[in-house]
A and B are shown apart, each in its own frame.
Chain A
Amino acid sequence: MAILVYAEHDNASLKKATLNTIAAAKQMGDDIHVLVAGSGNQAAADEAAKAAGVSKVLLADNAAYEHQMAENIALLVADVAGDYSHIIAPATTTGKNFMPRVAALLDVSMISEITAVIDAQTFERPIYAGNATATVKTTEDKVVLTVRTTAFDPVAAEGGSASVETLDNIQDSGKASFVNEEMAKSDRPELTSASIVVSGGRALGNGENFTKYIDPLADKLGAAVGASRAAVDAGYVPNDMQVGQTGKIVAPDLYIAVGISGAIQHLAGMKDSKVIVAINNDPESPIASIADYFLEADLFDALPELTSKI
């Protein structure tokens, strides 16, 4: 049976997380279909059809799906689930929101945030904030799971030529409605897909210092800016910049942690980065134990110098 991948998109274009998820799906089977549910989302569906390894795209275009409300999306996915052995979504806030609903509607257990595929029924996933790795096996008829996108290299965005089939399945639960949203604006690369991330912690002292010390370095490196929970809670930066177990999970090539002590909650969000640099004035801080390069320095001296020398 085929595998269904739920596409992450903003109606206008496909998010890269979808390509990582397709890559994970390819380790479970060959026939991969992508469901693009939204409103006015033809462009995103066309993009999905070009992704390498996709054999069919299902397009559900209706106002009921515009904001990807879990109540409606779950009904839609559960409705088309009959044809599929695996139903897979990226472990974004959207995927985490509706996929357990799908599993419950199908009366099957679900596996969250897999980081490796052992076989089509067996997967690895982190537990205890990444302090242990569990191998999980399921004998459910349908495998419902979400994928930690940073653990899988994306498939090529071009090269595929899948057919696009339009679904006229409209599901509106009537139990929930969208009121509004408030998105943080950023010109920088997206945190979860950036190849370099510069993160600041409480030691920055205030929001202006993020702008003054972290941003120039990030701009020079073409990096995304992240933050520890302490910096977010102190109000220095908005919460969508938070890296950690309760924020975003990142695994860039280079992660630069500035003034971050390295609580396990934070480490769970970034310890799979390829190279970790920590700049901190406390050599005993936990971040020092996982950093590839640790510089003991006052960040207010070190950052301008680092920025000027890169």
Chain B
Amino acid sequence: MKALVAVKRVIDYNVKVRVKADSSGVDLSNTKMSINPFDEIAVEEAVRLKEAGVIDEIIVASIGPKESQEQIRAALALGADRGIVVVSDNKPYPLQVAKILKSIAEQESADIILLGKQAIDDDNNQTGQMLAALMGIGQGTFASEVKVEGDKVNVTREVDGGFQTVALSLPAVITTDLRLNEPRYAKLPNIMKAKKKQLDEKTPADFGVDMTSKQEIIKVVPPAERKAGIKVGSIDELVDKLRNEAKVI
């Protein structure tokens, strides 16, 4: 079986985000960029499925700026076999990304398509579901456990209130939640070997996808600041403040 894993180049999750003064967006110049953490979990899951003998080949795709190659190389160093970077100057919106991934998944005849549940920049949580809809196949979102059995996959999902398990016919789309696994670190020899692995460069036009979106971000501003709080010296003072000042108890 083949796995397709989608990874996104995003600001590193440890970086404190700065909004640009002209409200046009977030300042990404000279900022550390990484694989979206949920996508790293998706890569790890694919590699584990390969180690378990379920998957024969792992293809990693990324849609975005040319530099997204770095994130694909990182995924190759973790154990993926080859990469496809789809270079787009337009901001990638989930619907267009899903359309490109659909073409790749069909061209490659992928049986399992893994994505992160959301990217930590746009926090959309849409691409996996849209991809499954476009392909007309099942989806296992927010996965915390994945078990492939024959031509089916059982996915345990994190839902409000607990866990739900669904059975999906393959091919299927799975989006990863944080608890699915602990991604490994790339070893230096593997980073060196990853440089020799195949990485094809494509454009959205190769897949016949127009990257313009009818959705537009008009402005980006910092969130409203909370007014500075105070330090209280004792429980008595805290209880008094909550009762008489904040009036919340």
A→B interface (CB under 8 Å): 67, 69-71, 74, 92-94, 96-105, 107-113, 122, 125-140, 173-184, 192, 196, 221, 229, 233, 238-240, 245-246, 248, 253-254, 264-265, 271, 274-277, 283, 288, 290-297, 302, 305-306, 309-310
Contact = CB atoms under 8 A, between A and B. Distances in A.
A44 to B, nearest CB: 16
Contact of B165 (A134, A179, A196, A296): A179
For chain B, the bracket of interface size reads: 35 or more
Contacts of A291: 229
B126 interface: yes
B223 A126 contact: yes
Contacts of A94: 159-160
Interface string B84-106: 00000000011100100000000
B69 interface: no
Given A135-B217, A239-B179, A103 B165 contact: no
B188 interface: no
A128 B93 CA distance: 15
B52 interface: no
Given A100-B133, A245-B120, 7 more contacts: A104-B130, A109-B215, A135-B218, A138-B214, A178-B166, A240-B161, A254-B242
B121 interface: yes
A132 B17 contact: yes
Interface in B132-146: 132-134, 136-142, 144
B248 A254 contact: yes
A264 B249 CA distance: 27
B138 to A, nearest CB: 4
B228 to A, nearest CB: 9
Contact of B95 (A71, A104, A135): A104
A69 B162 contact: no
Contacts of A181: 159, 162-165
